[in-house]
Amino acid sequence: MVYRANFLVTKIILYGLLTATAVFMILPFIWMLSTSFKPQSEIFASPPIIISPNMNLDGYVYIFQLGVLRSLWNTFFVAFSFTIVSLFFCALGGFGFAKYKFPGQKPLFSFLLATLFIPGAVTMVPTYILMLKLHWIDSYWPLIVPGAANAFGIFFMRQYISTVSDELLDAARIDGSSEFGIFWRIILPICRPGLISLGLIFFMTSWNNYLGPLIYLKSPEKFTLPLLMTSMQGPPGFSAFREWMGVAIVSVVPLLIIFLIFQRRFTEGITAGAVRG
């Protein structure tokens, strides 16, 4: 009885701490949501007003008139395109490093991992010059193509694919399957949890990317959500703080929906990758 009572008290304390931590972590999001509905005069009130009796939709009316839906579509298009292209090439590269032996394989893979330590600022100017020569400035290509086959993605997929049975691939070759057919019909279906996990990482990274659109996009009609947020000045006579919070809510909601849909697969992919690695 004493042991059971101690266990119950420990469980209550643990759940209490977890609940308090969860509330503490979610509080900024609650404040962001409430601020997007507040009048301008109550945003910086002291003490802070979490639930205002004067909530209205003026901030959302302004950002929708400004074209937030267009920027939302632009952001989704860039993030989705980057994710699909990156998953294909990273899985293909991981398959090559995991299941084929060729001269210089280990030094090449080591060099690939070494590129993870190169700061992005080092390659920013050469990449911009290359995009300029390709006439890709003010288009979405610089946000999709350059990072498609990245070292992290190839390493992630290589670790995942390396534990797929070689006998399974040999059996497919005996049945007459091509090497690309093995990749497409066997490797990709087996690695679906890992692809979903990596895809969510790529999607969120591209979705929240600010520096890339700032460098390459010039036309306002092509702006993504992070770039739209920083370009807003707000209604005449007011700061754009309430409108920024409105754009942030519009930006966060799709990510939450996507994560909730793929949450189980994401957890499975990360766990399986950790065990296999």
- For 66-117, write each residue's pLDDT tens digit: 889 999 999 999 999 999 999 999 999 999 999 999 898 999 999 999 998 9
The structure's pTM equals: 0.85
Domain residue spans in the chain? 57-276
Give the C-alpha separation, 45 to 16, whole Å.
31
Model pLDDT for residues 179-227, shown as the tens digit of each residue: 999 999 999 998 888 898 899 999 999 999 999 999 999 999 999 999 9
Contact by Cβ (8 Å): 243, 59:
yes
* Token pair recorded at residue 76: 């989704």
Question: Domain spanning 57-276 has what CATH number?
Answer: 1.10.3720.10
In eight-state DSSP terms, residue 42 is G
The count of other CB atoms within 10 Å of the CB of residue 241 is: 17
Output the CA torsion 194→84→263→197 (10° steps).
30
Q: What phi and psi values does residue 138 have, to the nearest 5 degrees? A: 65, 35
